Amino acid sequence: MTAYTPSFLFDFTFFYAFSGFDNTQLLFIGMIVLLTNLYFHISLSKKHLLYSFPLTLILLGGIGLRVATSAISLDYIFHYLIFSTLLFVIIIDHKLYLFIPEEYKTPLGKTKMRIEKVSLPAFNTVHPKPTRTKQGISSIPASFSQNFQELKNNLRSKLGIGQPQPTSDMGKSRGQSASLTQDHISTDEILDEKQFIHPIEKSAEDIETTKEMLSNLGSQSLDHLDSKINNTKLGDHSFLDSFFSSSAQLKDFTRTQLSSDFSSLLDHIEDSAVIISRGVVKAANTTFASMVDQPIGDIVNKDFIDFLAPEGFASFKSHCSKRLSGASSQTFRVVLLSKKHEKIPLQATIKSTKMNGEPVEITVFQKMNT
């Protein structure tokens, strides 16, 4: 391969990875693939672009295999440039495939005669102008602009907008001119009859504008509301005020009654005991309060982990995880922390009971030797 320069000519296909091909065969196969791909790109159409995709992928795979299996070096600068160019070609082909219409096709080496229909008002004569379009190896933007112009002319010819009818000669009789004028007038009348009117436009006169709505609203009398506002005193209380105040008092009474019931239940237990609900201490006896050296008012409605030492987090977390998973966990070790930062190792036992017909779980703590 060193006898040939540049070396990327042999890497257009991945056949160089096989030992049965020499450089001449690789060059021949690569040129066939490259020229065929070029042919499909020159004859621009949706079908030819679809055929060019596998050929471009073959070229991309051959160059990419050489780039991927070789160390980064300036010797492969042409490989890098060609690989990047092929990636851009793939992207552009994809965009063109989505953009080009199905019926669009540019044949190679042929000249197509295209006669534009031009229609003018009466008494004017314009001969059709044939246009020659040499469609061979042309630029893509020119092809697109020509295609758009053709679509535009077709739409105008079908709708009959802005295209007067052609006449053959200026020297024709007035009768023919009059007939052409009548035809032109009848065509305009047909277009006026076929003009689309939206249903909302038909009923536009019946719809009130914003200004009219505001004026109607301003004309309404609000004296009855003013009289009610003036008769209302600041000291008056409505039914809702009394209802919400009574419900708040009822909630406070229920919370106080429930706390007193918990306290009376725990006072019968000699050991340290608390009632924990969702991780919050709802009640505690005096033995537990003296052990952590805090008043009961500072213990209730606080998280139980606030009274744990760092050494007791793991066991308490394991106990909570077992309870959440449905396992039976009635005993666990815990290390409490007093107000004086003294660590107290304890054995916690959960005992179930009922109060007012509702199940209540009491956590009882017993000291253990360390």
All domains of the chain in start order, with CATH? 7-99 (no CATH), 110-159 (no CATH), 257-367 (3.30.450.20)
For 236-268, the pLDDT digits (tens) are 555 445 545 554 544 454 455 455 666 767 777
- Burial code of 334-346, b = ≥16 C-beta within 10 A, e = fewer? bbbbeeeeeebeb
Instruction: Tell me the C-alpha to C-alpha distance, in Å, between residue 162 and each of 150, 152, 158, 190, 231.
Output: 16, 12, 11, 14, 73
Find the mean pLDDT for residues 210-225.
69
Q: What is the pLDDT of residue 215?
A: 75
Residue 70 has pLDDT above 60, yes or no: yes
**Poorest-pLDDT segment among 3-12, 126-135, 307-316:** 126-135
Query: Encoding tokens for residue 330?
Result: 């009635």
* CA Rg value for the chain: 47
Q: Are residues 136 and 112 in contact, defined by beta-carbon separation less than 8 angstroms?
A: no
Q: What is the pLDDT of residue 254?
A: 47
- Long-range contacts for 56-61 (Cβ within 8 Å, ≥24 apart)? 56/86, 56/89, 56/90, 56/93, 57/90, 58/12, 58/13, 58/14, 58/33, 59/12, 59/13, 59/33, 59/34, 59/86, 60/86, 60/87, 60/90, 61/13, 61/14
Residue 189 has pLDDT above 70, yes or no: no
Find the mean pLDDT for residues 198-226.
68
Chain-centroid distance, C-alpha 362: 51
Residue 180 has pLDDT above 70, yes or no: no
For 3-35, the pLDDT digits (tens) are 546 777 777 787 777 777 777 888 888 888 888
Q: Are residues 133 and 114 in contact, defined by beta-carbon separation less than 8 angstroms?
A: yes
Q: How far apart are the first and last CA of the chain?
A: 83
Residue 96 has pLDDT above 60, yes or no: yes
Q: What is the pLDDT of residue 128?
A: 52
Find the mean pLDDT for residues 124-148.
55
Residue 172 has pLDDT above 50, yes or no: no
Query: In angstroms, rounded to a whole number, what is the distance separating the alpha carbons of residues 292 and 336?
Result: 8
Residue 168 has pLDDT above 70, yes or no: no
